[in-house]
Amino acid sequence: MTSLTIAGQEDIFRLARGYYTAKALLALWRMGLLEQAANGKELDVKAIAAEHGVEPERVRPLLDYLIVRGYLERVVPDVYRLTARGVDASPYFGYLSTMIGAYEPVFSRIEDLVTGKLVYGKDVVRSHEEMTRGLSALEDRLLGTVTDVVREAGARKVLDLGCGSARMLARLCALSGQMQGVGVDRDPNSCAVARETVQREGLEGRLTIVQGDAGDLAALPHTARVGVDLVTVMFLLHEILRQRGRDGTVELLRGIASLVGEGGRLVIVEVSGTSDHRYREDLLFVPEYELLHEYTNQRLAPRSEWEAMVSEAGMKVLQFAPVDMCQAFCMVAAVGGCA
């Protein structure tokens, strides 16, 4: 083989290796084993096999493979734990679910979406369950930022559009015994998980979960809307932007401005899109992130465009807070010139 041919072969093998490694880690994530390992629990092959009613020989190869790839190490025969590399990756395990698992149904048929044989939303959809679970695992990377913003705003009633597990809302309600919260999500499974969060945290009477369209404020119960002085919208507006266009997104933002009124706040956590391919190539996972959104009825926009839409809706951007997630930002806005 020529050196060029060898390099080409190695390149393809590197891609295949990444695919197999990602799938192996995702399998452990789906089984709950990665989270256990991240919390310091050792993985016992015989115990795992017994739990699932299979022979240890069915479980062992998967863990052995991840030893080769540097994520696990053997403590004693048939007992494994995370390596230093695995521990370093553990705060980001939720990305396996949000960026790979959730979109697996889509990318396994991507050629059919490209050629029009399938239509997203009709013939194929992403896994909402995997998306919610992954975001819940990653929420800790957002909690501090959003909590600080809400505390500084002095909010009394928070409405979270697209609340998911409601962990964020529960954290916000913990800021003050007087704080109230309302979470809205259209997915019944997410609402069920959110209500479990409410019960577990002892927030009945202070935190209400509403199943409904987070993009239709007028359809929400009056009791959910009255008194709201802060609205949080996390990773939802890019779906509104694709499905309802720029005008529809601005209309929703106007509705939020009207709802919170003078002195109220809007907190947006979104992902910034880019248009310069030279810039995109230097950003961690951004080309892949934008690709998966293009084929799943979502549209990312540059941060400047989000600023423009907020301004058009009659609000003023007060600050941007850092968010330690892929290409994400936290924008705080208020009605008119409110400081």
Residue-wise pLDDT tens digits, 247-276: 999 999 999 999 999 989 999 988 877 655
Q: Is residue 151 part of a domain?
A: yes
Helices (H), 226-336: 237-260, 277-280, 286-294, 303-312
Q: What's the confidence (pLDDT) of residue 73? A: 98
Domains contained in the chain, number: 3
Q: What is the pTM of this model?
A: 0.77
Together in a domain, 170 and 42: no
What is the CATH number for 328? 3.40.50.150
Together in a domain, 181 and 204: yes
Together in a domain, 200 and 116: no
Last residue of a domain, one of 81, 114, 138: 138
Q: What's the confidence (pLDDT) of residue 281? A: 46
Is the model's pLDDT at 278 over the cut of 60?
no
User: How many helices, marked H, and strands, marked E, lie in the chain?
Assistant: 17, 10
Mean local confidence (pLDDT), 212-230: 94
Q: Is residue 281 part of a domain?
A: no
What is the CATH number for 49? 1.10.10.10
Is the model's pLDDT at 208 over the cut of 80?
yes
DSSP sequence for 176-237: -TT-EEEEEES-HHHHHHHHHHHHHTT-TTTEEEEES-TT-GGGS-HHHHTT--EEEEES-H
Q: Which stretches of 72-205 are assigned E, i.e. beta strand?
A: 72-76, 79-82, 157-161, 180-185
Last residue of a domain, one of 56, 90, 124: 90
Together in a domain, 143 and 268: yes
Together in a domain, 111 and 150: no
Residue-wise pLDDT tens digits, 46-95: 999 999 999 999 999 999 999 999 999 999 999 999 999 999 999 889 98
The parent domain of residue 132 ranges over: 93-138
Together in a domain, 20 and 118: no
Is the model's pLDDT at 178 over the cut of 70?
yes
pLDDT tier, 223 (very low <50, low <70, confident <90, very high otherwise): very high
Together in a domain, 222 and 262: yes
Together in a domain, 132 and 145: no
User: Which strands sit side by side in the sheet containing 230-234, from one edge to the other?
Assistant: 207-211, 180-185, 157-161, 230-234, 265-271, 328-335, 315-322
* Site of tokens 């190539």: 281
**What is the C-alpha to C-alpha distance for residues 18 and 6, in angstroms, rounded to an integer?**
18
Q: What's the confidence (pLDDT) of residue 2? A: 65
Q: Is residue 218 part of a domain?
A: yes
Task: Tell me what the pLDDT averaged over the chain comes to.
Answer: 89
**What is the C-alpha to C-alpha distance for residues 29 and 7, in angstroms, rounded to an integer?**
33
Q: Is residue 154 part of a domain?
A: yes
Together in a domain, 270 and 145: yes
Together in a domain, 188 and 306: yes
pLDDT tier, 315 (very low <50, low <70, confident <90, very high otherwise): very high
**Among the listed ranges 152-156, 211-215, 326-330, which one has the minimum average pLDDT value?**
326-330
Together in a domain, 193 and 314: yes
**How many other C-beta atoms lie within 10 A of the C-beta of residue 304?**
9
Mean local confidence (pLDDT), 147-161: 90
Q: Is residue 283 part of a domain?
A: no
Tokens at 194, concatenated: 């959110």
Side chain identity at residue 174, one-letter code: A
Q: Is residue 248 part of a domain?
A: yes
Last residue of a domain, one of 62, 90, 118: 90
Q: Is residue 286 part of a domain?
A: no
Q: What is the DSSP letter of 323?
A: -
Mean local confidence (pLDDT), 97-111: 93
Q: Is residue 282 part of a domain?
A: no
Is the model's pLDDT at 5 over the cut of 80?
no
Together in a domain, 1 and 104: no
Q: What is the DSSP letter of 37?
A: H
SS3 label, residue 336: coil
Tokens at 243, concatenated: 């499905």
